[in-house]
Amino acid sequence: MAGEEEVQVVESCFVTPAKDTPRKALRLSPLDLLMLANRGYTPLVHFYRRRCSVDDFFDVAKLKTALGKALVPFYPMAGRLRADADGRLEIDCNGEGMPFLVAHCHLTVDDFSEFKPSPRLRGLFVPHTDDSEGIVCSTQVTFLKCGGVALGTAVHHGAMDGTAAFHFFQTWSAFSREGDWAVVKTPYHDRSLLFARNPPFVHPDTLSIFCLKVNMSQLSGPVVNEVFTLGKGQVSTLKRICGGDMSTFSVVSAHMWQCMCLARRLPPNCTTRLVFPANVRRSMTPPLPDGYFGNVITYVSVANEARGIASGDLAYIVRRIRDSLSRVDDELVHSAVDYLELAKTDNRPATGSLPATDMRVVSWLGMPVYDVDFSWGKPLAMLRAESNRGGYVHLIDSAHGDGSIRLVMCIEASILKEFKRLLYAKFESMVYSKF
């Protein structure tokens, strides 16, 4: 494993729920299987600086006690992914526990000041987890030379989406801060709400709105990870260009899509696609119960001739994104579920990169990614530890709360310089406030 010469694991155990929990199988929904085919494990890292006045900074016993309490309401995370008698994946809620590792590392937080994904970062701080073991989530607490901590987790995307995962992190950290006095939101575990209908029915518009097939290819050259920052003033400038009342996600995605088409020099008549996961919890009728634990996202696709994106105004591109989102409703979500049931999604995580015409934007904007305070302060940074699929972008709010956002990209090395030039060129002749 990359980085093992720099990290020494000093403890490895399984943390089990602090109380008896239901012993049953939770069948995965078609949306769970879609995420499994798209991803597998999601590697995350939270970095924390040591507070000088604290003696029990990231006390391991306290963390394990809190984790055991969190695994009572989140009992599927202590289970294992298995295939049932019919070969269909489910979570066996058997209480076997979550892997918990403790390690020491001679590096410091400042050695990772760019907070950029890399295979080395994952190798250092995220526990290695094999699909064959069926682990739902594992975690590693690494104490750094500077006194800080890197908290790494491997979260199985087939079991939960980002909303559910961050709900778990909030709960674990709340039990660490407040013990038995913690007030936590109870997760909802009935996944049958997202099972296929009987009989299934696929609405004719389903495949024009959603991207329900995993299409990967091999790019002609290497890809690199890069992080760009757009300040609050720059985001406001994009919104003004587009007419004002637009979401940060839509204007930034539109701007990146246009820059990507230009940097790649796509043929004018080829079809380019912007794909992004949409949280459809509130698109259902009635909305899914608060705290639904599982995957409730599906990929929305916006397709256009490259000439229309490369030469069009941003307001037009934003309208295309908003129009696609506005069409997502209860019927189309159920129709997507029915389509996936009929298509028998391949459970193996896909490999490769997106086609050179496409870009996929994953938004964590507005999510509580920094609301993970175990009683020693919020994290200095949080990021995906590794991103190796060309064409993927993650949008993350700044940890400083200053209104800026980070664009964490996996991009072809051959177009990186030109993409960066295009990304910031729009602001060079404009005056904006940088907060």
Active site residues: 157, 373
The amino acid occupying position 331 is: E
d(CA 120, CA 124): 6
- Is residue 233 within 8 A of residue 370, CB to CB? The reply is no
Contacts of 212 (CB under 8 A, 6+ apart): 34, 206, 298, 299, 336, 339, 340, 343
d(CA 300, CA 328): 9
- The closest alpha carbon to 312, from 262, 250, 244, belongs to 262
Determine phi and psi for 10, rounding to 5 degrees: -110, -10
- Is residue 235 within 8 A of residue 248, CB to CB? The reply is yes
Please report which residue ranges of 179-227 form alpha helices under DSSP H: 206-209
Q: How many CB atoms lie within 10 A of CB 414?
A: 15
The 8-class DSSP code of residue 433 comes to: -
- Is residue 404 within 8 A of residue 232, CB to CB? The reply is yes
The amino acid occupying position 116 is: K
Contacts of 21 (CB under 8 A, 6+ apart): 71, 72, 75, 78, 93, 95
Provide the CA 107 distance to its chain's centre, in angstroms. Answer: 26
137-143 and 381-384: which strand pairing? unpaired
